[in-house]
Structure 1
Amino acid sequence: MTSGDFQLSAPVSARRIVVAMSGGVDSSVVAALAARTGAETIGVTLQLYDHGEATGRKGACCAGRDIRDARAVCDRLGIAHYVFDHESRFRESVIDDFADEYLAGRTPIPCVKCNMGVKFTDLFRLARDLGADCLATGHYVRRVMGAEGAELHRAADPARDQSYFLFATTSEQLDFLRFPLGGMPKPRVREIAAELGLLVAGKPDSQDICFVPDGDYASLVKKLRPTADTAGDIVDEAGSKLGEHKGLIHFTVGQRRGLEIGGQAEPLYVLRLDAATRQVVVGPKRALAVAAARITDINWIGGNHTGPLTAKVRSLAKPVPARLDGDRLVFDQPEYGVAPGQAAVLYAGDRVLGGGWIAETERAQSALAA
């Protein structure tokens, strides 16, 4: 077992590493790798939400279970473990934002907002308050030292890569962060956990947004914003009514299922959501073709890079050739399923150059002419 990416300037005996621990196998192995360096290692867990309240099941405190798992790992490794209550901050900056974005007809990505705020900003402050030399996390990305300093790169295992969710990481944060798992495949991480006798070695990975463990986003939004399920019309681009819907929160750009509109010459897809009129605008797949997108709040960590780049506009999409012209991201070829509210992340090969939030899109001429 290697100690991973923990290069620090201080002698080992003087080092202090803070590890962000969620109670899962990834962060637990990071803690083990940190402890193996000989540095003082401290596990920190943020209590972000009440799982029982999120699911409506009394006594189902997942946050409590995960905290217990993290503490058990720290006890096994012989390191300190602290828990900090950030539930109110998480609710305001992540959960409320999630609900409001859906109400505005956009498709939110709460994991990015969490990393931008509660996880990195707040954990940075906590780690520094604890006198740490670095903050280590279980994210599957790589921190590579380049000519201009620390760079953010995709994980070695493409199936596990989480770089899309970390585009808002700043250069200052990269100097302080460590990602020991970025060069490992997930099976090896579980092997390390099993070798160390950690009870979380076989713990399943979370598949949904953490505060919506059952995947029912609409129910959560309705609970937070009772007007979210207000019905409206499903219309074509000419404004002709084709059907009705039970709330914008049930739809996102590019969606085909759930429209329940029959008798059409070709399949229909969601083209856009109009929060003002509560209309779901639909059309054929070719109408989804986008030539460019305006992006806001651009975070650039690409240094002096001026060469070709690729852009990824959904977490599961492949990066495609594009260019950045001010705040306009122009695609070499029409791109589909580009939704306001999502992130556009920019790459040069495996290196993350930065990214921003998709505010609006420009239809491809081929789609307009169809």
Structure 2
Amino acid sequence: MEATKLEPLFNLQELEAKLNGNGRARANGLTGWDILSVDQFDRDKLAYIFGRAEEMREMVERVHGVDLLKGRVLACLFYEPSTRTSASFIAAMERLGGSVIPITQGVQFSSVSKGETLADTIRTLEQYADVIVLRHPEIGSARMAAEAAGVPVINAGDGPGEHPTQALLDLFTIKEEMGRIDGLKVAMVGDLRFGRTVHSLTKLLLHFDVSLRFVSPEILRMPLKIMNEVRDKGLDARETHDVADVIENADVLYVTRVQKERFSDLDQYNEVKDQYIITPDLMRQAKEKMVVMHPLPRVGEISPEVDADPRAAYFRQVQNGMYIRMALLAAVLGKA
């Protein structure tokens, strides 16, 4: 009796060819890009990156890593503390076969402490690296770095400005969890004034037909500039001080911490830091099909008891960050 020929469950060569994209990176205009702002992305580019991220997830789940970026080097330059973002970029590069120069601790002991400018630091690192990821406390620092660099620069957060890769992973998580973006009611809760994650996510959501609810204390309201952009798009958007006003109808509850490091007056911080806490009791008022998200770290604004709720997606959100950053690194290095 002739043996039945079994088809392989997974073809690594086929996936690597798929990840190489057959020129799709060039067609989507991403090769050599600096990733500085969510303003660079429209719906087509979002769909493209999300498709690549799904392929990266498939690859990681099946074979853990490939050599797509073998020989390429990432310089991770973080002037502010970071756990998730720095680890996510490092993991993303290593999953793709590249290597990393991690400058994520002790920047104060580097040449910066000797008075070296950001531009000179960037020009130095580009001698070693093919792409630079930068986190810096000043708005506009990523753009300044990109102007100095001859290699792609990716903004990993510039003070209270933007955090584009976080916004991309947030939007990807919404799509993955809810199956769609159009038609959703998205509520953002907490520090909307200094929260760069909500600034960037709101800008991305302007490409979709969504309803927006902004929940914050008066002193932490969403900046007027962003509210004007929302209104100019004609989206249904409202502000409130009470999370109870939005919890029953929200499809997405995006919670942020009140950032102590952004306050010069600690009395003001202590006044608002515990104003919103998501608890199991509050979640009983929410829809059965919805999602709770948080960019992390949290400092009490989501009760640990909520972690067991299947609607709590913040750790799945973290994992999605690696896939999005893998897709971006491959894209800007011409391997998407």
> What is the TM-score of this pair, normalised by structure 2?
0.30
Q: Which has the higher contact order (CA 8 A, sep 6+)?
A: 2
Structure with greater proportional strand content: 1
Structure 1 or 2, whichever has the larger Rg, is: 1
